[in-house]
Amino acid sequence: MSGPINAFEMAQKQFDAVAKQLKLDSGVAETLRWPMREYSFRIPVRMEDGSLKVFQGFRVQHNDARGPNKGGIRFHPAETLDTVRALATWMTWKCAVADIPLGGGKGGVIVDPSTLTVNEKEAVCRGWVRAMWKNIGPRNDVPAPDVGTTPQMMGWMMDEYSHLVGQYTPGVFTGKPVGGGGSLGRTEATGFGVVYNIREAMKHLKMDPKKSVASVQGFGNVAQYAAIGFIEILGGTVECVSCYDRHSKKAYTYSKKGGIDPHFLISIVDEYGTIDKAKAQDSGYAVEEGDAWISKEVDVLIPAALEGQINADTAPRISKRVKLIAEGANGPTTPEADEIIKKNKIFDIPDFLCNSGGVTTSYFEQVQNDMNFYWSKAEVLEKLDQKITSAFNSVLERSEKEKIYMRDSAYMVAIDRVVKAMELRGWLTGNA
């Protein structure tokens, strides 16, 4: 078995390999391989049982050459500063490859949100903002939801910031509830963005989406809408989804002959993504071990959970039938697994291209907040499709032209855009 995966070391290793290919100046490379700013702070909360509990919070701002930092806030018991660093770094590349005028940021709190009451969650959210409000804002850093956080939590955070600055400021957080400054289409955005990428990849690979079968890891927001979109937009079949069960502390893979029904599974899932195992079995779903998803005889793998899930141990189990991997999660594939994927000639849509639909629509939300005018869902999703299609084709074009792996191509497109912005702002002259 391989050892524990450090996401930031993985992000730096990926960057270093491409920086070498680009012959990037060593000083520029050193600037980009580390975040520009990091914040670590403590959040004291009076719990409902009367005790005082202190939570560890983080915010990392990687690079804002192209615009305000942007990135989610995770509430997760295994959160680490290195994970936040990695996710902030990937957000810089994600915004650049999607060609939206934002930089990369990420935040987190070490906590299992399912152990908190509603009032305790709100207190942690407001405490996070009180610790960070002087260093976030619509023009310098705009957080959003991520693993373990919700639109309602973004609403609380936006409200706290607005109280502190003395004016209604909806553009400081995105992913807010519709009716509270949120955008229509944001809920579907990341998962549908994965599907738009898959559609374009299938055109390139000459695959028939209606004859294609997918296996999905995860059943949070991204996985749910990737599954729905694969079936309803592409006309394909989803054989299975995997899901972490917070009650048993184990993951399970749920499959059904003829394909799963994501709408039914959503109807029996709790707010933290745990499928009701008994109800699934009563409805004819087979329940297997959590890692069964990766060895299924399918055409497409969609890892849409946490980082490092396709690694040196699991990648050899991928079926020879698999032609395409669409990375809905952040950092799901390790560099060691990349080598196996290349050897097996599987087409990979890298994470910060594949799951860029969420941040793209968050950008749309912020634009709507600034205008105080809101678009229809159809308009949001149409604009998202255009952005994703353009981003995919720019990465594919470079990959084809230079005969390089799609991940390397995505990095090259993103790094070139960030370095260009740094040059135009005078950051590389030493005088800025």
Give the separation between CA 58 and CA 275, rounded to whole angstroms: 30
Contact 325, 301 (CB under 8 A): yes
Q: Is 256 a catalytic residue?
A: no
**Among 20, 70, 94, 106, which one carries the catalytic annotation?**
106
Strand duo 69-76 + 347-349: pairing = unpaired
Write out the catalytic residue numbers: 106
